[in-house]
Structure 1
Amino acid sequence: MDAAGPASDSIRRDSQGDPRSTPGKLALRSLAARSDRKGLVRLGGHLAMLTATGCLLLWSRGTLWVVPALFAHGVVLVFLFAPLHETIHRTAFRRRALNDAVARAAGFLLLLPADYFRCFHLEHHRFTQDRARDPELAGRPLTSRIGYLHHVSGLPYWRERIATTWRHARGSVTERYVPAPRRPAIVREARWHLAGYALAAAASLAAGSTLLLWLWVIPALVGQPFLRLYLLAEHSGCPEVPDMLANSRTTLSNAAVRLLCWNMNLHSAHHAYPALPFHALPAADRLLAPQIALRSRGYAAVQRVIWARLGAESAR
């Protein structure tokens, strides 16, 4: 998941060529057009990769090749988070109904109900890096390498997802970022999710099939650490300030990662202009480059920085 380059963030805040001037804003506005075609092409590519890795996984069972196949399929599967994220912003496609349908399908596979995640994520955009109000900063911060490894394992994610969805299904929606009028829909959504999981499990047991375990459950567990590492790079170690071009990190990477994450490695541009669709982010990144504060040369570089910082904090 790394691009060639030094293992540290480059910090740049030029004063010239501000894209937030009127001409810059007009240029960025011109990039905001949404496209069903571009969204469907990218989604089709992602699903084609998922089908290919799934076939490879099934073919390799009983051989040592099952290990890399399982990792490959797991990574492609958990990175359905990328179209989920894009569609809860409703920027993946022009049609709202298409955005919502894809969001619900991806959210079901990731145990992350789309309507709930939209409330959570939009609050994150409103209050990015605000420790009192950003829901991504809720809970204990990472302060040790043991905590980092526990977080990256994905276990806290699965524990939270199961507990929260079960609580919502029981009718308890207490999150302050979920508006009261939306809470009945969140309850219904959680109940539909649980019913769907129960039906899938029952059908598998009745058929005596392990396909869901091999193609969904086990790969999701195996792939989740890669998603945790990717998501840690977005804001970890960034200043806790309101400026979206300072509190979010852009991470350069190779074509495979850019494809999997739907260009969301260009996270500073996304946070500064969240209405821009995924296919506009490379152009937006070029326009905003002089004002982006943190630009890292690869995901491994970011993790090395985080690991070193946690080691230094533990030694104090």
Structure 2
Amino acid sequence: MATSSTGLIDRPALAELNTLSTAPAVVRLLSHLLTLVLAGLIWRQPGLPWAARLTGLLISGIALATCFAPLHECCHRTAFRSKALNDAVAWLAGLLSFYNATFYRRYHQWHHRFTHQPGRDPELEDPVPTSLGGYLLELSGWNWWSGKLRGYARLLWGDLSDLPYLSPEVIPQVRRSVRLQFLVYGVVLLLSCIHANGFLFWSWLLPLAVGQPFLRFVLLAEHSGCSFSSDGTANTRTTLTVAPVRWLMWNMPFHAEHHLYPSLPFHALPAAHGRIAPHLRHLAPGYLAVHRVLLRDLPALALPA
């Protein structure tokens, strides 16, 4: 994905920020997976108090759902120096978070190309919460789960020829990737049944369902209530948040910076923020502040007629 030519960052500084480095991604990925595993072990440890176990369930669920963040970063191929390593980690992170990296990379490229532009940005095909009921349904993860099931059914068996971001040459590659993903899920299900340990449900599906509202809460803030124009300083929101959220989300809360300069690696976004912040139309002091604003006028989130 090409770097935006916004001119908000001078060329020497941009060249320095664009330097890829594998070490930050290794540290971030290992810490993310360690959080997921340790919290999962606490959740599945029967000898612990229920308060500790439920805390483990919540943390493991959030860590599992936010595997979307390394998927996203690696789909940009900016996390690691190696293209092959980016692609492998993206696929595995997608496996954990119920995304398919091969499909998502193309879908996401189109989102960057036509950010928040109705009729062009594929993200705007998802339901827009314009009422309190719709807002709560979105945060619950229901729309995401139902959309995923419909989407995967189409990727496995349906007609994909009308999707502008999938060329005829890419479609067989996407189908193979999705089929391999579901083969892995099938093997995990089979082993879970053989050993009668309920691993697939208790250690993956349930935690993912518990963690999904957190991810929806974060992602809903990225573009909701922003301009439907092509202006990158106005159609995307940066949200200042606490360090653990920035860590789990691989600095994705610096979202306007990411959209303006999508070739920047995640570890360069805080520095980019220092240069870009004065130019942003939507800079929020936190996610609660964003959602308070959204809740004041949910009908305003509707797509323009």
| TM-score, structure 2 as length reference | 0.92
Partner of 1:306: 294
Partner of 1:13: none
Asked if the contact 1:173–1:187 (Cα under 8 Å) also holds between the matched residues in 2, the reply is no
Specify the code of the residue in structure 1 equivalent to 2:259. H
1:50 to 36, 60, 79: 36
Q: Can you list the C-alpha shifts for 1:172-193, whole angstroms capped at 9, x where unaligned?
A: 3242221221001111112112
Asked if the contact 2:237–2:284 (Cα under 8 Å) also holds between the matched residues in 1, the reply is yes
Partner of 2:16: 30
Specify the code of the residue in structure 2 equivalent to 1:111. F
Specify the code of the residue in structure 1 equivalent to 2:213. P
1:225 to 213, 236, 244: 213
* C-alpha distance in 2 between matches for 1:54 and 1:84: 20
> Residues 1-316 of structure 1: matches in 2 within 5 Å?
20-21=6-7, 24-59=10-45, 63-65=49-51, 66-170=53-157, 172-174=159-161, 175-310=163-298
1:312 deviation in Å? 8.0
Partner of 1:7: none
Q: 1:313 to 1:253 in 2, by over 3 A?
A: closer
Asked if the contact 2:129–2:301 (Cα under 8 Å) also holds between the matched residues in 1, the reply is no
SS in 2 for 1:233: coil
* C-alpha distance in 1 between matches for 2:107 and 2:187: 27
1:260 deviation in Å? 0.7
* C-alpha distance in 2 between matches for 1:105 and 1:197: 12
Asked if the contact 2:65–2:208 (Cα under 8 Å) also holds between the matched residues in 1, the reply is yes
| TM-score, structure 1 as length reference | 0.89
* C-alpha distance in 2 between matches for 1:183 and 1:136: 19
Q: Can you list the C-alpha shifts for 1:38-97, whole angstroms capped at 9, x where unaligned?
A: 111111111111122112212257742222221111011101111000000000100001
SS in 2 for 1:156: helix
* C-alpha distance in 1 between matches for 2:176 and 2:263: 28
Q: Can you list the C-alpha shifts for 1:141-188, whole angstroms capped at 9, x where unaligned?
A: 321111111111111111111221122212532422212210011111
Unpaired runs of at least 5, structure 1: 1-18
Aligned residues with identical type, % of pairs = 41
Asked if the contact 2:156–2:178 (Cα under 8 Å) also holds between the matched residues in 1, the reply is yes
Asked if the contact 1:166–1:190 (Cα under 8 Å) also holds between the matched residues in 2, the reply is no
Unpaired runs of at least 5, structure 2: none
SS in 2 for 1:123: helix
Number of aligned residues: 296
Q: 1:22 to 1:306 in 2, by over 3 A?
A: closer
SS in 2 for 1:119: helix
RMSD: 2.0
Q: 1:283 to 1:192 in 2, by over 3 A?
A: same
Asked if the contact 1:171–1:187 (Cα under 8 Å) also holds between the matched residues in 2, the reply is no
Asked if the contact 1:60–1:69 (Cα under 8 Å) also holds between the matched residues in 2, the reply is no
* C-alpha distance in 1 between matches for 2:178 and 2:255: 29
Q: 1:45 to 1:220 in 2, by over 3 A?
A: same
RCO higher in structure (CA 8 A, sep ≥6): 1
Q: Can you list the C-alpha shifts for 1:190-236, whole angstroms capped at 9, x where unaligned?
A: 21122111111111101111233222110001110110010001000
